[in-house]
């Protein structure tokens, strides 16, 4: 079957009719999400089909108060998930190795592919969908709300329903700026201008640059997500340089915090020292772990040596 006509007219839908999805279509959608390929057959993802209206409301609020998250007939939250894999290994007496960065990479990819398979199947059936990256606006609150175990991390939401809006497909970058042949081609100033021109209809005022600025420039939405994202990763055990559950978003931010409270930080093999005038606090372990411990001692949160 040629999917081109479906792809040619598809667009994200943000207004839905208050109509439920019939069970036979829902079955097709749930089937589709599991037919996506996954790295090494591991299926490093899970999906939450959010049915509880109170939960849906809470997720809508945490995702930037997006009305279409509330309105959609169905809402799915796609999760990167190495928790199940760890359980499977343990079930056969194996201990999972530590590979948090790779876990996140393939978990996010598996979750994203699964979401895309569901989304495309839905669009082929005539439904409208909208991916919701807003679920990463407040990831720590989302972890609390959903009580996700370590190794599980929200990737993206998907709102789905019968469309109650129409419109033309939205623009894309010129193909030659996206598809390189054999070697990555450096961009010229003309290429960049062509990009802004092609994407201009995306913005109501005809300036895609404003959209990019709002999200990606200094002071934009993505920058604001960075620290909570890093803290949430550490909390879920997916940040290799920090102990699971520590409230820092990177080893660098931990060192900066420590330096605000001390004169210096000293690392040695297997330990870290936090120095203040006339006293020093020692933590043990890898740098992040050792420094977190030293900082807790300096703050009096855990007892120092006798």
Ligand X SMILES: Cc1cc2nc3c(=O)[nH]c(=O)nc-3n(C[C@H](O)[C@H](O)[C@H](O)COP(=O)(O)O)c2cc1C
Q: Under the rule (CB under 6 A), what is the footprint of ligand X?
A: 11-12, 14, 66, 130-134, 156, 170
Q: Which residue lies nearer to ligand X by CB, 11 or 84? A: 11
Min separation Cβ 133 and ligand X, Å: 3
103 neighbors 236 (Cβ within 8 angstroms):
no
Of 75, 21, 80, 78, which Cα lies nearest the Cα of 52?
75
Q: By C-beta, is 154 or 237 nearer to ligand X?
A: 154
Closest among 76, 53, 73, 77 to 161, alpha carbons compared? 73
Tokens of 268: 């040695």
CB of 210 to ligand X, least distance (A): 14
Identify which of residues 164 and 241 has a Cβ nearer to ligand X in the complex: 164
Minimum CB distance to ligand X, residue 161 (Å): 14
Nearer to ligand X, 169 or 247 (CB): 169
Minimal CB distance to ligand X: which residue?
A: 133
Between residues 158 and 242, which has the closer beta carbon with respect to ligand X?
158
Q: Tokens standing for 43?
A: 């299926």
Contacts with 282 (C-beta within 8 Å, 6 or more apart), sequence order: 271, 272, 273, 274, 290, 294, 297, 305
Q: Tell me 268's DSSP state.
A: E
CB-based contact 153:80 (threshold 8 Å) = yes
Cβ 159 to ligand X shortest distance, Å: 8
User: Least distance in Å: CB of 156 to ligand X?
Assistant: 5
């Amino acid at each position: 079957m040629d999917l081109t006509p479906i792809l040619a007219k598809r667009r994200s839908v943000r207004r839905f009719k208050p109509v439920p999805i019939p069970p036979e279509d829902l079955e097709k959608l749930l089937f589709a999400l599991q037919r996506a390929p996954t790295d090494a057959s591991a299926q490093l993802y899970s999906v939450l089909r959010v049915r509880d209206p109170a939960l849906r409301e809470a997720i809508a609020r945490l995702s930037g108060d997006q009305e279409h998250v509330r309105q959609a007939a169905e809402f799915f939250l796609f999760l990167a998930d190495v928790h199940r894999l760890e359980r499977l290994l343990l079930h056969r007496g194996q201990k999972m190795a530590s590979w948090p960065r790779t876990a996140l990479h393939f978990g996010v990819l598996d979750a994203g592919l699964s979401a895309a398979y569901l989304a495309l199947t839905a669009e082929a059936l005539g439904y409208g969908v909208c991916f919701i990256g807003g679920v990463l606006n407040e990831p720590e609150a989302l972890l609390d709300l959903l009580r996700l175990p370590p190794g599980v991390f929200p990737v993206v939401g998907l709102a789905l329903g019968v469309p109650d809006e129409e419109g033309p497909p939205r623009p894309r970058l010129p193909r030659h700026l996206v598809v390189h042949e054999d070697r990555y081609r450096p961009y010229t100033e003309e290429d960049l201008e062509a990009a802004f021109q092609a994407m201009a209809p995306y913005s109501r005022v005809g300036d895609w640059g404003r959209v990019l600025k709002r999200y990606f420039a200094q002071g934009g939405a993505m920058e604001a997500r960075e620290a909570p994202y890093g803290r949430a990763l550490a909390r879920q055990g997916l940040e290799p340089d920090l102990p699971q559950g520590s409230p820092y978003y990177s080893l660098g931010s931990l060192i900066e915090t420590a330096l605000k409270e001390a004169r210096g930080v000293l690392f040695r093999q297997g330990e870290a020292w936090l120095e203040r005038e006339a006293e020093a606090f020692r933590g043990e372990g890898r740098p992040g772990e050792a420094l977190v411990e030293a900082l807790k001692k300096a703050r009096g949160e855990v007892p120092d040596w006798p």
